[in-house]
A and B are shown apart, each in its own frame.
Chain A
């Protein structure tokens, strides 16, 4: 099972919005709505931001939102803040290998 494909890096200015894509196949994102997004700061454990494509756990800022179209899921961060600088990973259930993460995206706040 290959990792889901994400851009290696995305950057934006304070207050701007950015979108991170996550491309899979019909065996994962294209068929199942079990896509999650995780934020990881250096040296820390990942934290879930979005689950089931669009749902935010309690305590997660509403500046984070998720969506899906076909085999591609997306995470949008609006009103970019300095503390959003981190690595972001998508993850999905997959019929062939149970679970798979994306390749990861480093977000830089300019």
Chain B
């Protein structure tokens, strides 16, 4: 069973950048898409982005499109979320999650394994 651990969160000034990592332990990581989900303080879950199992497909939500970039290194069992031009509304807990589907490029079925989350605070 895959386990996920996020890291890289912290306090950052508006307009600056931050890179989050999602490291997986366990088998079969390279067969699954990985999502990023954000939860602003006191708010609900917001889907941000997903990268396909092989890194060839990346999809982004409107709120982060053009500012955030996904990548993955399957040799290191790690997915990265590069966040640029950060804004106050990017503040929140960032979760990564493994997609239920296997070797899918176009359909994403839901998140069956979640990390514990890493907190990002954008403030001057």
Q: How large is the interface on A (under 10, 10 to 19, 20 to 34, 35 or more residues)?
A: 20 to 34
B108 and A34 contact, CB distance less than 8 A: yes
A51 and B44 contact, CB distance less than 8 A: no
Tell yes or no: A36 within 8 A of B by CB.
yes
10 A-B pairs closest in CB distance: A36-B110, A104-B44, A45-B114, A98-B59, A101-B45, A99-B47, A34-B109, A51-B110, A48-B112, A89-B45
Residues on B with beta carbons closer than 8 Å to the beta carbon of A57: 112
Q: How large is the interface on B (under 10, 10 to 19, 20 to 34, 35 or more residues)?
A: 20 to 34
Tell yes or no: A91 within 8 A of B by CB.
yes
B47: contacting residue among A48, A52, A91, CB under 8 A: A91
Tell yes or no: A46 within 8 A of B by CB.
yes
Residues of chain B whose beta carbon lies under 8 Å from any beta carbon of chain A:
35, 37, 44-47, 50, 59, 61-62, 95, 100, 107-112, 114-117
Complex Cα distance, B45 from A38, in Å, reads 10
Residues of chain A whose beta carbon lies under 8 Å from any beta carbon of chain B:
1, 3, 34-36, 38, 40, 45-48, 51-52, 57, 87, 89, 91, 93, 97-104
Residues on A with beta carbons closer than 8 Å to the beta carbon of B117: 45
A and B contact pairs by CB, cutoff 8 A, 28 listed: A34-B107, A34-B109, A34-B110, A36-B110, A36-B111, A45-B115, A45-B116, A46-B45, A47-B114, A48-B110, A48-B111, A52-B109, A89-B45, A91-B110, A91-B111, A93-B108, A93-B109, A93-B110, A97-B62, A98-B59, A98-B61, A99-B35, A99-B108, A100-B47, A101-B37, A101-B47, A102-B44, A104-B45
